[in-house]
Amino acid sequence: MDLISTYIIHQADNALILGHRNSEWTGHGPVLEQDIAISNIALDLIGQARYFYQLAAARINESAPGGNITEDDIAYLRDDFEFRNCILAEQENGDWARTLLRQFYFSTYQLLLYQELLKSRDPGIAGICGKSVKETIYHVKWSSEWVIRLGDGTEESRTRMVEAMQTLNPWIPELFIPADFEYEAAATGAGILPDTLKDEWYHRVNRVLESATLPTLLSGKNPLQILSGKRGVHSEHLGHLLAEMQFLQRAYPGCSW
């Protein structure tokens, strides 16, 4: 598989895994309105994942005449070490505070990335990002409002937000550490190097954290760099997630979305 296809799959894996995590809240949200909201965000993300998987499958089949790889094959028939999503996306939901903070961190990253990829020399990538930007703007708005609401709320809600930061913050630096497929995508004009988004990401995130009266973030090295989802080295959570998500396809081969 060429590195540009891997770059596309990386985007799809991020959206799929985060979308699946959000879908776990369906029927369990704190109030009906927010249950519907996070379920709709899950659908948005899974829709983005489908577009990227379809694009990757088309590239793979084109490079291997006679191939018949589908989006379902890529999503459902790979093991955890073959997934290239960032570890932040696969972290467990925990409580509402952790889920909202994870969404805020990742949606802010996705928005900056998609906006830059609108200029991609690959028309498929640019087209998908054009469809996804409006959705992601809403994801950032919704999650940031909740971060402020909980951070600047009661003593209990603030405590939970601080605990969520302690759990999720170690996984932030990986977002901005380029992998081989990101170097290749940037070199060909199909993508960008994620470290070019770093300063703006911290600026936007810290602005919201200040409004939430929460501790701001400092850019630093990742103490857990031994793990890198971009290289297929994941936390223990992804295997459990895939066991549930892929069960139907593995048990009944040939099912489609």
- Reported confidence tier of residue 31, pLDDT bands at 50, 70, 90: confident
With a pLDDT cut of 70, the percent of the chain lying above it is 96
| Number of other CB atoms surrounding residue 164 within 10 Å | 26
Q: Are 153 and 144 in contact (CB under 8 A)?
A: no
Residue 256 has pLDDT above 60, yes or no: yes
Closest among 1, 19, 55 to 181, alpha carbons compared: 1
pLDDT at position 236 is 94
Domain boundaries, the chain: 3-215+225-251
Residue 6 has pLDDT above 80, yes or no: yes
| pTM for the predicted model, two decimal places | 0.94
Encode pLDDT of 159-174 as tens digits: 999 999 999 999 999 9
| Number of other CB atoms surrounding residue 96 within 10 Å | 20
Question: Which fold, 3-215+225-251?
Answer: Ferritin (1.20.1260)
Encode pLDDT of 216-232 as tens digits: 998 765 555 557 999 99
Residue type, 130: G
Q: What residues form DSSP beta bridges with 233? A: 228
With a pLDDT cut of 90, the percent of the chain lying above it is 86
